[in-house]
Amino acid sequence: MLEENHKLSIRRQCDILAINRSSAYNKKKIKVEDKIEEKIIEQYIESGCRYGYRKITEALERQGDTVNHKKVLAIMQKQNIQGVYPKKKFKYTKTEHKKYPYLLNDLTINHPDEVWATDITYVKLPMGFIYLVAYIDLYSRYIVAFNISITMEAQFCIDCLQEALTKGRMPIILNTDQGSQFTSNDFVSYVEVNDIILSMDAKGRCFDNIFMERFWRSFKQEDLYRHRYESVAEAKAFIAAYILWYNNQRLHQALGYKTPSEIYFYNKKAKEKFP
């Protein structure tokens, strides 16, 4: 048989033994690849099955084994192993819902209840998430209604809007994003049956709903991150207290250091509490 460390070259040994050189070199190549494969699997196991092909390539380089990263990837795919890494999140866009234009570009808002906006945010609890929806009057920054749910169904958004409308006020325009709750047939039908004009942000345009985003930022910095709610009941109590304070006591620079309720109710001395 052929010997790699023999004083005669592989070529000369093949000639003497009448062996096809290509077969000999292929066997040698297979043997080398087997060793590389063993080392790749060894590095993968040593990493706790965490390393991907790039890190395994680097680990082999540190050991003095030069191997192309594409070869490492091919061997890992052959062995059906892969590193731990964040998977790409696919967003499935519903194409069947009706598209509504964004109506707030260059729109001057002159009075309360001309335009409301709504959005949903996540609130993390030790046992999971709850979801908070709110409706804000863009002229005054007044939170006209809010609701909390443990699920992301459209109904809790509808219930919140219904609560806002039962207080005797109604917007001309309601701006939402294109989330499934706001594009659902039930939600859209409820808005339209109340003769409210629906406006929707463009996909991926969070700044189209900038006033809601600013409210979420204020809420999280001034309350959520300070208290770290431990239960749903505690979250509901703290959120209600914060919105009561936000509407009636929090001074807004953009409002000339007035509160949202003072602007919304046209009364500089308004002391009305959030219902």
The CA-based dihedral angle spanning residues 215, 221, 222, 225, taken in that order and rounded to the nearest 10 degrees: 130
Give the pLDDT score at 90.
44
Give the pLDDT score at 135.
97
Give the pLDDT score at 33.
72
Closest to 209 in 3D by CA, of 180, 235, 253, 177: 177
The tokens for 82 are 């892969």
Give the pLDDT score at 15.
60
Q: Where are the domains of the chain?
A: 10-78, 115-264
Domain boundaries 115-264, CATH class: alpha beta
Mean pLDDT in order along the chain per 10 residues (275 residues): 52 59 53 76 78 88 87 83 61 61 91 95 90 96 96 93 92 93 94 96 69 92 90 95 96 91 70 41
Burial group, residue 67, by CB count within 10 angstroms (0-12, 13-18, 19+): middle
Residue where the block lists tokens 């047939």 = 185
The rounded Cα 86 to chain-centroid distance in angstroms is 13
- Which three-class secondary structure state does DSSP give residue 158? helix
Give the pLDDT score at 152.
87
